[in-house]
Amino acid sequence: MKHVDDFRLRFGRKELVPIIIGGMGVDISTAELALEAARLGGIGHISDAMVPTVSDRRFKTHFVKEKLKTYKYNVASADKSDVLFDLGRLAEATHNHVGRTMEAKLGEGLIFVNCMEKLTMNAPRDTLRVRLSAALDAGIDGITLSAGLHLGSFALIEDHPRFRDAKLGIIVSSLRALQLFLRKTARLKRLPDYVIVEGPLAGGHLGFGMDWANYDLHMITAEIQQYLTTEKLDIPVIPAGGIFTGSDAVSFLEKGAAAVQVATRFTVSKECGLPADVQQEYFRASETDIEVNTISPTGYPMRMLKSSPAIGAGIRPNCEAYGYLLDGSGNCAYVTAYNREVGSHPDAKKIVVMDKTCLCTHMRNFDCWTCGHYTYRLKDTTRRLADGSYQILSAEHIFHDYQFSTDQKIALPA
Ligand SMILES: Cc1cc2nc3c(=O)[nH]c(=O)nc-3n(C[C@H](O)[C@H](O)[C@H](O)COP(=O)(O)O)c2cc1C
């Protein structure tokens, strides 16, 4: 009976434990979590989602306060097109988060940053270019491009001195998305170093419609592997989404996957950024407590606990402080939905918005409890304490369970 440790992820001459902890914004996949993955010989992700506020929280900077001060005059306005990010400040925040994480790195593993294209920040190209370049400047080992097609992202950094040396990968949910990306970047003569194939059971945003349940990770992965073999393209394929045990991982590795990307099991680790009371919500969840809905202003379906405070909350949009989802013209589907509700209930003290949520504020405050499909199995990965709560795990324990377990077993903590 094989275990994950019988396999290795190879990047050139470098050999890694084939376990990648996926990016979880906003600072759910913390530096501490990513550093553990690297120390244990795998790959960890930090996320650059809302990096100015992450820098403020971690390093006592004041990026959010400064931005809010600059645009305070606009808070009551429905038109958010003025509210632009200071690109120098954005680079500084990225430097802080990425640079300090890399300085702390120990062990043979790698640390990547997860970079979502859908964080359009009211100036999609300029802000993305700064986020990518600043992460490379700050010494990140690799960048995983996610949430969006990223058709122009490689070109944004083609002149960066580290463009060919840093590991650059892309998350796709279909062969078609990968083909589009390869076609669009062919001119650059630089293939992605890895392709993460994210299936419909993942946490966060899904690369599927509301018919997500009709898709299967094994089938999409096999289709992509077949295509790459036919085209003689040697790109490591890394499935993600619903890989809950070491044995689940082995079932992909035996079929030629280079590694697996996992996340949900680490949401209940002590290194994870979720507050302790929210982690207990994840433990307690049953299958019927989890839904895929369309409240994210990005337009992608998202999986979350039905009890997330973000659902139905009609808070005033906070774009002057945050504004990460404003498109290139200053629009966001939540701002539109909020203004519609204010318009139709002019005398209401409390606004309720059911169809969209203010994702910036709620992700920033850990009030949007996004999670993978198998969150309801987390309670089976730990022990119940005398007070009825569930024991939080160490990232090392979870990592080793993936690495060494067999027969669909899950090791409980000591
Ligand atoms: C709490 C949470 C937050 C996530 N946030 C992001 C994100 O910000 N960007 C992203 O590309 N993927 C995100 N994901 C997806 C993971 O990186 C990963 O690919 C996926 O969840 C793996 O499936 P699993 O959770 O079933 O192991 C998130 C997943 C979870 C559970």
**pLDDT, tens only, 163-184:** 999 999 999 999 999 999 999 9
Residues 105 and 305: their CA atoms lie apart, in Å, by 33
Question: Residue 152: how many CA atoms within 13 Å on its side-chain side?
Answer: 8
Nearest alpha carbon to residue 201 among 143, 263, 158, 144: 263
Nearest alpha carbon to residue 253 among 410, 45, 19: 19
Q: At the topology level of CATH, where does 4-274+392-404 sit?
A: TIM Barrel (3.20.20)
Q: What is the mean pLDDT of residues 77-87?
A: 96
What sign has the CA pseudo-torsion 113, 117, 123, 129? positive
Tokens of 76: 């009551």
Regarding the beta carbon of 240 and ligand 1, being less than 6 Å apart is answered yes
* pLDDT tens sequence across 266-292: 999 999 999 999 999 999 999 999 999
Work out the pLDDT band at 376, boundaries 50, 70, 90.
Answer: very high
Q: What is the mean pLDDT of residues 139-160?
A: 96
Distance 196 CA to ligand 1 centre (A): 12
Give the pLDDT of residue 312: 96
Regarding the beta carbon of 201 and ligand 1, being less than 6 Å apart is answered yes
Give the pLDDT of residue 87: 98
The answer to pTM > 0.75 is yes
Q: What is the mean pLDDT of residues 238-246?
A: 98
Distance 205 CA to ligand 1 centre (A): 8
Distance 349 CA to ligand 1 centre (A): 36
Give the pLDDT of residue 293: 98
Residues 5 and 236: their CA atoms lie apart, in Å, by 17
- Exposed/middle/buried for residue 296 (C-beta within 10 Å: 0-12, 13-18, 19+): buried
* pLDDT tens sequence across 31-76: 999 999 999 999 999 999 999 999 999 999 999 999 999 999 999 9
Give the pLDDT of residue 45: 98
Residues 6 or more apart whose CB falls under 8 angstroms from that of 367 comprise 308, 309, 310, 313, 361
Task: Give the angle 138-142-143 at the CA atoms, nearest 5°.
Answer: 95
Distance 70 CA to ligand 1 centre (A): 33
* pLDDT tens sequence across 111-120: 999 999 999 9
Give the pLDDT of residue 163: 98
Domain boundaries, the chain: 4-274+392-404
Ligand 1 atom showing the smallest separation from residue 147 Cα: 11
Regarding the beta carbon of 302 and ligand 1, being less than 6 Å apart is answered no
Give the pLDDT of residue 277: 98
Between β-strands 312-313 and 302-305, what pairing exists: parallel, antiparallel or unpaired? unpaired
Ligand 1 atom showing the smallest separation from residue 201 Cα: 26
Give the pLDDT of residue 74: 97
Residues 144 and 167: their CA atoms lie apart, in Å, by 8
Work out the pLDDT band at 19, boundaries 50, 70, 90.
Answer: very high
Q: What is the mean pLDDT of residues 212-238?
A: 98
For atom 7 of ligand 1, the residue with the nearest CA is 24
Q: What is the mean pLDDT of residues 200-223?
A: 98
Q: What is the mean pLDDT of residues 318-347?
A: 97
Average pLDDT, the chain: 97
Q: What is the mean pLDDT of residues 191-202?
A: 98
Give the pLDDT of residue 357: 98
Torsions phi, psi for 136 (to 5 deg):
-65, -45
Helix locations, 203-348, DSSP H: 217-230, 246-253, 276-284, 333-344
Give the pLDDT of residue 186: 96
